[in-house]
C-alpha cells in the first residue's frame, strides 16, 4: 500500500506565542513516532505550514486532531497525494522558521521575496516543503532559536 502526503497552512490563534511551539512539537513528535508518521512544521512570519507523510489511516487520524486544535485557525488544505519516498523519513516532526523562508528561496521557487501561503497551489507547496526538508542547518537553527526563547524571560515573538 502506498503512503500519502498531506499539506495545509493555517494562521496561529491570536493568543499564540512562539514559545507555545515547544509543547506542540513535543506532542507531535511523540504521537507521530508512535504512528510512524513523519513531517515538517514551518512557521512563517504569519502562518503555520504543515506537511505530513505516512499511511493514509495514520495521517488522516493526525489531521483530524490537528484540524480541531484551537491554537490555530483558518486551516486551508493544499491536498493529499501518494508518495514514493518520504521527504523527512528520519523526523517525526522537523521544524523550520524564520530564515528558512529566505528571500533567496522564495525568489528561486516563486519569483517573490516572501512566502504567501494562500498563493501556493499543491505542487508549489510540496516544492517548498521539499526545499525546506533539504536545509538541515536551518532546521537546527530554528530548534536553537526555540530553545533560546524558552530560556529567556524577555524573548517573545507574537503573531
Domain with residues 3-151, CATH architecture: 2-Layer Sandwich (3.30)
Question: pLDDT, tens digit, for every residue of 31-44?
Answer: 999 999 999 999 99
Q: What share of the chain in percent tops pLDDT 70?
A: 96
Residue 96 · residue 43 · CB < 8 Å:
yes
Q: What share of the chain in percent tops pLDDT 90?
A: 67
Spell out the domain ranges in the chain.
3-151
pLDDT band per the 50, 70, 90 thresholds, residue 95: very high
pLDDT > 90? residue 147:
no
Rounded to 10 degrees, the C-alpha dihedral 114/119/125/130 comes to: -20
DSSP 8-state class, residue 117:
G
DSSP 8-state class, residue 142:
H
pLDDT band per the 50, 70, 90 thresholds, residue 145: confident
From edge to edge, which strands make up the β-sheet containing 38-43?
A: 72-83, 3-12, 48-54, 38-43, 94-97
In the prediction, which pLDDT does 11 show?
A: 95
In the prediction, which pLDDT does 159 show?
A: 45
* Alpha carbons 99 and 25: distance in angstroms, whole number: 19
Residue 115 · residue 159 · CB < 8 Å:
no
Amino acid at each position: 500500500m502506498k503512503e500519502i502526503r498531506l499539506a495545509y497552512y493555517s494562521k496561529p490563534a491570536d493568543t499564540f506565542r512562539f514559545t507555545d511551539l515547544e509543547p506542540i512539537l513535543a506532542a507531535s513528535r511523540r504521537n507521530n513516532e508512535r504512528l510512524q508518521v513523519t513531517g515538517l512544521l514551518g512557521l512563517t512570519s504569519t502562518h503555520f505550514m504543515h506537511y505530513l507523510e505516512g499511511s493514509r489511516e495514520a495521517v488522516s487520524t493526525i489531521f483530524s486532531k490537528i484540524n480541531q486544535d484551537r491554537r490555530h485557525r483558518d486551516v486551508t488544505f493544499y491536498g493529499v497525494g501518494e508518495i514514493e519516498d518520504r521527504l523527512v523519513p528520519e523526523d517525526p516532526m522537523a521544524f523550520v522558521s524564520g530564515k528558512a523562508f529566505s528571500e533567496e528561496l522564495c525568489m528561486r521557487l516563486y519569483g517573490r521575496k516572501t512566502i504567501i501561503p494562500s498563493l501556493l497551489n499543491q505542487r508549489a507547496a510540496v516544492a517548498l516543503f521539499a526545499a525546506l526538508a533539504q536545509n538541515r542547518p536551518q532546521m537546527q537553527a530554528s530548534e536553537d532559536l526555540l530553545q533560546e526563547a524558552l530560556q529567556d524571560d524577555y524573548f517573545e515573538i507574537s503573531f
